[in-house]
């Protein structure tokens, strides 16, 4: 499972340039670095539209077109790669509405209940990560509002992440982005990331609150103040 992630680049144009995506001035102006992206919050995704890649805002938690209300999105923040092509909630999106979720890290938690320690997984050089995703368009029948939502596709953990959690996001290489967005069935891409792609760093327990969102979250809490042991 992936329940929190980061995108800390200074400007969203860095993401657009890296994958050749169109970026609207409004979205570029609204962007700010994020250190604790949580379910239901807005986040930019990369999708292909008529052969052109574009960055668009979407809410994390997929709401299928057939859903009666948007609350189902709370339960659909992740989609298992092994069954994504068959599950009713995801199969239509897998066929024709795949997207890439730009990030530069994701969190998992380890340790006993009541003393859980968050761990930030990221590239050794903190470069961008491209997470396989799916998106959907849902219309509120009462108001006519059209909501764009997304889910992050997960796979088995690699050796780095497996020390903390059994699952991880499917991390695409930059060269794989085109295949994920455009191929008929790119399921072969949904595999654990190479071990060298990620490292683990202890993070702040303030992450437990989605209201917390600052650069200090990427550093562990002072063990003298919080009584925590260093993990690494």
Per-residue pLDDT of 150-196, as tens digits, reads: 999 999 999 999 999 999 999 999 999 999 999 999 999 999 999 99
The count of other CB atoms within 10 Å of the CB of residue 161 is: 22
- Is residue 2 annotated as a catalytic residue, yes or no? yes
pLDDT exceeds cutoff 80 at 225: no
Catalytic residue among 14, 17, 108, 179: 108
pLDDT for position 223: 65
pTM, 2 dp: 0.94
Torsion angle in degrees (nearest 10) through CA of 161, 163, 166, 168: -10
Q: What is the pLDDT of residues 28-49, one digit of tens each?
A: 999 999 999 999 999 999 999 8
Tell me, yes or no, if 205 is annotated catalytic: no
Is pLDDT above 80 for 197?
A: yes
Residue 111 main-chain phi, psi, to 5 deg: 105, 175
Question: Could you say which of 2, 86, 99, 212 is catalytic?
Answer: 2
- C-alpha 134/C-alpha 84 separation (Å) is 10
Percent of the chain clearing pLDDT 90 (strictly above):
86
**HSE (CB half, 13 Å, CA atoms) of 44?**
30
Coil, helix or strand at residue 104:
coil
Could you tell me the domains of the chain? 5-226 (3.90.1680.10)
């Amino acid at each position: 499972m992936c329940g929190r992630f980061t995108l800390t680049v200074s400007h969203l144009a860095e993401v657009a340039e890296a994958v050749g995506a169109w970026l609207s001035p409004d979205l570029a102006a609204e962007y700010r670095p994020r250190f604790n992206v949580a379910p239901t919050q807005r986040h930019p995704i990369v999708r292909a539209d008529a052969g052109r890649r574009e960055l668009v805002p979407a809410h994390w938690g997929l709401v299928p077109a057939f859903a009666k209300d948007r609350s189902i999105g709370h339960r659909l923040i992740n989609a298992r790669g092994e069954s994504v092509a068959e599950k009713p909630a995801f199969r239509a999106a897998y066929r024709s509405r795949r997207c890439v979720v730009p990030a530069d890290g994701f969190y998992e938690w380890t340790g006993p209940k009541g003393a859980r320690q968050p761990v930030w997984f990221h590239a050794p050089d903190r470069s961008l990560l491209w997470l396989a995703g799916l998106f959907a368009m849902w219309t509120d029948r009462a108001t006519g509002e059209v909501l764009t939502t997304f889910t992050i596709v997960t796979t088995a953990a690699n050796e780095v992440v497996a020390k903390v959690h059994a699952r991880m996001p499917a991390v695409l290489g930059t060269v794989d982005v085109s295949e994920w967005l455009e191929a008929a069935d790119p399921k072969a891409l949904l595999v654990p990331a190479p071990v060298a792609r990620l490292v683990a760093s202890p993070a702040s327990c303030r992450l437990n609150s989605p209201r917390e969102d600052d650069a200090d979250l990427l550093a562990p809490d002072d063990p003298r103040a919080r009584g925590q042991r260093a993990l690494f």
